[in-house]
Amino acid sequence: MEKKRLVMVGNGMAGCRTLEELLKIAPDMYDITVFGAEPHPNYNRILLSPVLAGEMTIQDIILNDRDWYRDNGITLHTGRRIVKLDRVARKVIADDGSEASYDRLLLATGSNPFILPVPGKDLPGVIAYRDIADTDAMIEAAATRRHAVVIGAGLLGLEAANGLALRGMQVTVVHIGAWIMERQLDKPSADMLQASLERKGLTFLLEKQTESLIAGSDGRVSAIRFKSGETIPADLVVMAAGIRPNTALAESAGLHCNRGIVVNDTLQTFDPKIYAVGECVNHRGIAYGLVAPLFEQAKVCANHLAQYGIGTYKGSVTSTKLKVTGIDVFSAGNFMGGPGCDDIVLHDPAGGVYKKLVLEGDRLVGACLYGDTADGAWYFQLIKDGQDIHELRDHLMFGQNHLGDVGHKGQTQAAAMPDTAEVCGCNGVCKGSIVKAIKEQGLFTLDDVRKHTKASSSCGSCTGLVEQILASCIGGAYTPADSSSKALCGCTDLNHGEVRAAIRERHLIDIPSVMRELKWKTPNGCASCRPALNYYLISTWPHEAKDDPQSRFINERAHANIQKDGTYSVVPRMWGGLTTPDELRAIADAAEKYKVPTVKVTGGQRIDLLGVKKDDLPAMWADFAKAGMVSGHAYGKSLRTVKTCVGAEHCRFGTQLSMSMGVKLEKMLFGMWSPHKVKLAVSGCPRNCAEAGIKDVGVIGVESGYELYVAGNGGIKTEVAQFFCKVGSDEEVMEYAGAFLQLYREEGYYLERTVHYVERVGLDHVKGKVVEDADNRRALYERLLFALQDYKDPWLERAEAEAKSELGREFRSIAIKQAMKA
Amino acid sequence: MSTETTPWAPVCALDDIPLLGSRVVRADSGDIALFRTDGDVVFAVHDKCPHKGGPLSQGIVHGHTVTCPLHGWKIQLESGEAVAPDVGCARRFDVKVEHGQVWLRT
């Protein structure tokens, strides 16, 4: 069958991304021809500013070099502008007379700079700031001329001004508005930005309307006159007063346009054979200028060009997170506020930080951040979700503080960090390496950066910093990841919530049927989704869904913790942190018998034997079983420990029997799998020696009973547990704690700790289901007990298993010599 | 790499390797990981991740790829090469399955 012909007019970022997406899913469907008016292959337009500033070269910002087009069989015509579109004959004609026929046409003509209609606008020395040619013209002018005037104090204008100043020109920025960047900033933050730019040598003239541009004796522009009558010298004038969708070709062919080529949710124009993407498009009344929405369009458009016919583009909620000449700026939503809105404002001029949050009732509707934008992504999420924030209101301004406490010297502002500063303490990645990778590899998303640099890919505590660096490198191209709608992994478009719901509603009980029913894109998933699915199945359908060991991380399959050298660590359970001379003897014997190199006391009040060979595990466990000891699950997304203080058993301050309470809880929860690890603690009095304040469930004894705290965390980011309720008896502690954990097991997303789960659903929701609704609490508690009944010690099971059996062979290697004989 | 002169050695039955799982063969040249993928294709790769030496046999198998348990590098089982953007290669070995018997050439 002959291939169809796809012609693309325009060779920019949105168009080429569409082709990339198309080639990914239907590489052989089309013969592709591309016409670009510029003489270059596709480059990253957003990085023209660093080129102007002398930080990068044109070569650095090429996204698809000519080899890419050739390798993908794409015919590329650069330097050829399409002047005619003949929809009847289905062909396009270029300015050199050459023609190309199409079966499908993709218009990606981008936008044109808006040129003020003033006398002198066509003089030599008057340019826009849109492409490589403009950038070259500015670099050239900077070498020989002195006075530059930039008209327009938007992002582009300020970047042009900054670049020209760095190249030695005296730069004046002229702006019609009362403050700069009025589409992204309110007045106080804009004033701070202006003051900072003035310190760098830029001059600002606000509320000035240009009347005309005046030619000098050499015929070039030499001055600019304002309506106020003032005149200032100008050897170079850069028009940066906005952009307009480039619809000339589409309009000339009679395609419906209205401030952009009008498209439907599949990016199809009014001519069904013609699609359009990018800045030239008007989708539901909006022409987007940021790259992130355009890439979303590209994905949908490619899907339809490939005739898959699924996926629609519904528009994008945008936020602006960018770096203006080294200063982080973020804004989203209605950041100006107005009647019916409350503003929460933090303004520290000397510290260079400004934050404004706009609230309407109990909803966050807008945010404007200057200097410290670490929490931009969080605010954006709250705005998009329309989440009720009344509980957060008193500390909303201080941010989510999703940056961890440690690992990056407490830095929260990426812009202030030198290139040599370590951003990711886990993988030892410094800021310079991240910046380099983003620029050289053309990265646009957090996931890309994680893949290429490993930064933020381990504990994730530096994610906020990495996002800031990404935003500062790629400017408007960056949109913070949308956590609530984020797909579980690359194998599916569904998110955790949707997958959980489907497993419950459709009564799915094994991984193959989940993948089949939910149309997984990969034959057997990946190392991210399989453990998640396995957990969702066994927690939703206990005793019915079969646990799949091959979908468990090795620690949960081997029931021990893998170490860096491939050996394992073994932690026997010590109920409530209590042990006996017999148990200690058994541990000492095992340590000697199996030549354990390191024996260590853990933070969870038990003993860790480190450096055990995998082949030795079943025998060691058999020895422990003889001493009555069971697995401590120190390796699992499961109940870890219940830490206790001495309590009223011995302590002169103790009010409750914390050790016995801890043992009861630990015995009840033994073998509980959960979205992430779960740690408990019981203290016998408010002195809280068991550190119950940073546990998933913390129990603190008081004279009249127990206080329960939930969703604490002592890890990456220390989070203090929140007061949950007060109860009177041990039985109630078990019921309330059990019900809370069961709710978390049923609603939590895989790898979500209780603190993040509660943050997502709200403490009110959890209290409503557990504390306030007694029937529901008992039902949850019953379901937990049902799931946990008949749980067998996994160590004993494996120690007793036959070598050849499914459980046993995990620990037996095959000797090649024996194999040779066979 | 494997040479033509090394003979094939029988190592185990296909069913001794869990589906989407692995077994370790202790060879003189070091541990070799045998992987059984969906569709019963068997691969053999040196049991050492090119990143930091993690035991690949302990990883999760998906498609024709294994994810290293230590730091999540993905290794392609056909070639032993790391999935881009990571760069590195684990040595691969010839392996075949005949009548339910797995043969390895080290």
Q: What is the pLDDT of residues A570-611, one digit of tens each?
A: 999 999 999 999 999 999 999 999 999 999 999 999 999 999
Question: How many Å lie between the alpha carbon of B83 and the closest alpha carbon of chain A?
Answer: 10
Residues A749 and A644 in one domain: yes
Minimum-distance CB partner of A566 among B18, B34, B55: B55
Task: Enumerate the residues of chain A whose CB falls inside 8 A of the CB of residue B73.
Answer: none
Examine residue B67 and state whether it is found in any structural domain, yes or no.
yes
Distances (CA, A) of B34 to A717, A804, B16, B92: 40, 16, 10, 10
| Higher per-residue pLDDT: A210 or A474 | A210
Q: What percent of chain A has pLDDT over 70?
A: 95
Residue range A276-295: mean pLDDT, rounded: 89
Distances (CA, A) of B25 to B9, B77, B79, B96: 11, 16, 19, 15
Determine the residue among A433, A447, A533, A554 to mutate to test chain B binding: the one whose Cβ has the most chain B Cβ atoms within 10 Å.
Answer: A554
Query: Which residue, among A775, A750, A796, A503, has the nearest Cα to A630 in the 3D structure?
Result: A796
Residues 9-68 of chain B with CB under 8 A from chain A are 9-12, 16, 18-21, 23-28, 31-32, 34, 38, 52-55, 58-63, 65, 67
Q: What is the number of CB-based contacts under 8 A between chain A and chain B?
A: 99
Question: How many Å lie between the alpha carbon of A803 and the closest alpha carbon of chain B?
Answer: 11
pLDDT of residue A18: 95
User: CA-nearest residue of chain B to A427?
Assistant: B71
Minimum-distance CB partner of A527 among B9, B38, B62: B62
CA-angle at A451, arms to A449 and A457, nearest 5°: 85
Of A181-190, A240-249, A453-462, A522-531, the poorest mean pLDDT is in A453-462
Per-residue confidence at A143, pLDDT binned at 50, 70, 90?
very high
Task: Say whether A820 and B16 touch across the interface (CB within 8 A).
Answer: no
Task: Say whether A809 and B62 touch across the interface (CB within 8 A).
Answer: no
Ranges of H-type helices in A86-219: 132-144, 155-166, 187-199
Query: Which residue, among A118, A226, A218, has the nearest Cα to A172 in the 3D structure?
Result: A226
Per-residue confidence at A815, pLDDT binned at 50, 70, 90?
confident
Examine residue B9 and state whether it is found in any structural domain, yes or no.
no
Mean pLDDT for chain A overall? 90
For A481-509, write each residue's pLDDT tens digit.
Answer: 555 567 888 899 899 999 999 999 999 99
Minimum-distance CB partner of A816 among B58, B74, B106: B106
Per-residue confidence at A821, pLDDT binned at 50, 70, 90?
very low
Residues 6+ apart with CB under 8 A from A310: A303
CB atoms near residue A46 (< 10 Å): 22
Task: Say whether B26 and A816 touch across the interface (CB within 8 A).
Answer: yes
3-state secondary structure of A582: helix
Examine residue B98 and state whether it is found in any structural domain, yes or no.
yes
Residues A717 and A767 in one domain: yes
pLDDT of residue A483: 54
* pLDDT of A817 above 70: no
Task: Say whether A550 and B60 touch across the interface (CB within 8 A).
Answer: yes
Distances (CA, A) of B3 to A485, A817, B106: 51, 19, 9
For A694-753, write each residue's pLDDT tens digit.
Answer: 999 999 999 999 999 999 998 877 889 999 999 999 999 999 999 999 999 999 999 999
pLDDT of residue A427: 79
Question: How many Å lie between the alpha carbon of A523 and the closest alpha carbon of chain B?
Answer: 6
Residues A440 and A505 in one domain: no
Cis peptide before A245 (omega within 30 of 0): no
- As a whole number of angstroms, the distance between CA A200 and CA A325 comes to 10
Examine residue A331 and state whether it is found in any structural domain, yes or no.
no
Examine residue A571 and state whether it is found in any structural domain, yes or no.
no
Burial A286-308 (b: 16+ CB within 10 A, else e): ebbbbbbbbbbbbbbbbbbbbee
Residues A182 and A274 in one domain: no
Domain containing residue B30: 17-105
For A527-560, write each residue's pLDDT tens digit.
Answer: 999 999 999 999 999 999 999 999 999 999 999 9
User: CA-nearest residue of chain B to A450?
Assistant: B85
Task: Enumerate the residues of chain A whose CB falls inside 8 A of the CB of residue B52.
Answer: 564
Task: Say whether A820 and B9 touch across the interface (CB within 8 A).
Answer: yes
Question: How many Å lie between the alpha carbon of B78 and the closest alpha carbon of chain A?
Answer: 16
* pLDDT of A455 above 90: no
Minimum-distance CB partner of B62 among A524, A813, A819: A524
Report the domain count for chain A.
Answer: 5
Residues A107 and A210 in one domain: no
Residues 79-98 of chain B with CB under 8 A from chain A are 85
Task: Say whether A804 and B16 touch across the interface (CB within 8 A).
Answer: yes
In this structure, what are the phi and psi dihedrals at residue A296, rounded to the nearest 5 degrees? -65, -40
CA-angle at A680, arms to A674 and A683, nearest 5°: 170
CA-angle at A233, arms to A227 and A236, nearest 5°: 100
Determine the residue among B58, B73, B77, B98 to mutate to test chain A binding: the one whose Cβ has the most chain A Cβ atoms within 10 Å.
Answer: B58
- As a whole number of angstroms, the distance between CA A594 and CA A613 comes to 8
Minimum-distance CB partner of A814 among B18, B25, B65: B25
Residues A84 and A202 in one domain: no
Q: How far is CA A301 from the centre of its chain?
A: 24
CA-angle at A348, arms to A343 and A351, nearest 5°: 145
| Contacts by residues A66-70 (CB-CB < 8 Å, ≥ 24 positions apart) | A66/A41, A68/A41, A69/A34, A69/A41
pLDDT of residue A475: 61
CB A648 within 8 A of CB A661: no
- As a whole number of angstroms, the distance between CA A499 and CA A539 comes to 13
For A207-265, write each residue's pLDDT tens digit.
Answer: 999 999 999 999 999 999 999 999 999 999 999 998 999 999 999 999 999 999 999 99
Residues A227 and A99 in one domain: no
* pLDDT of A151 above 60: yes
Strand order across the beta sheet in which A82-86 lies:
A82-86, A91-94, A99-101
Residues A59 and A134 in one domain: no
- As a whole number of angstroms, the distance between CA A596 and CA A572 comes to 14
Residues A646 and A783 in one domain: yes
3-state secondary structure of B48: coil
- As a whole number of angstroms, the distance between CA A816 and CA B41 comes to 20
What type of residue sits at position A30?
A: Y
Minimum-distance CB partner of A523 among B11, B55, B63: B63
* pLDDT of A477 above 60: no
CATH number at residue B94: 2.102.10.10
Residue range A603-629: mean pLDDT, rounded: 95
Residue range A284-290: mean pLDDT, rounded: 87
Residues 6+ apart with CB under 8 A from A707: A699, A700, A723, A725, A726
User: CA-nearest residue of chain B to A804?
Assistant: B16
Examine residue A157 and state whether it is found in any structural domain, yes or no.
yes
Task: Say whether B25 and A813 touch across the interface (CB within 8 A).
Answer: yes
Residues A186 and A299 in one domain: no
* pLDDT of A417 above 60: yes
pLDDT of residue A172: 97
Domain containing residue A67: 4-111+245-305
CATH number at residue A673: 3.30.413.10
Q: What percent of chain A has pLDDT over 90?
A: 71
Residues A756 and A683 in one domain: yes
Examine residue B4 and state whether it is found in any structural domain, yes or no.
no
Report the domain count for chain B.
Answer: 1
Please enumerate residues of A whose Cβ is less than 8 A from a Cβ of B: 441, 451-452, 454, 457-458, 522-527, 530-531, 549-551, 553-555, 558, 562, 564-566, 804, 806, 809-810, 813-816, 819-820, 822
Examine residue B6 and state whether it is found in any structural domain, yes or no.
no
Task: Enumerate the residues of chain B whose CB falls inside 8 A of the CB of residue A532.
Answer: none
User: CA-nearest residue of chain B to A522?
Assistant: B63
For B47-106, write each residue's pLDDT tens digit.
Answer: 999 999 999 999 999 999 999 999 899 999 999 999 988 899 999 999 999 999 999 988
Query: Which residue, among A523, A513, A725, has the nearest Cα to B37 in the 3D structure?
Result: A523
pLDDT of residue A481: 57
For A342-395, write each residue's pLDDT tens digit.
Answer: 999 999 988 889 999 999 999 999 999 998 877 887 788 788 878 888 878 888
pLDDT of residue A201: 92
CA-angle at A196, arms to A194 and A198, nearest 5°: 70
* pLDDT of A818 above 50: no
Residues 6+ apart with CB under 8 A from A546: A509, A510
User: CA-nearest residue of chain A to B21?
Assistant: A550
Query: Which residue, among A86, A274, A50, has the nearest Cα to A162 in the 3D structure?
Result: A50
| Higher per-residue pLDDT: A46 or A307 | A307
Residues A89 and A30 in one domain: yes
* pLDDT of A819 above 50: no
Rg (CA), chain B: 13
Q: What is the ipTM of this complex?
A: 0.91
CB A41 within 8 A of CB A12: no
Task: Enumerate the residues of chain B whose CB falls inside 8 A of the CB of residue A524.
Answer: 20, 38, 61-63
In this structure, what are the phi and psi dihedrals at residue A655, rounded to the nearest 5 degrees? -105, -25
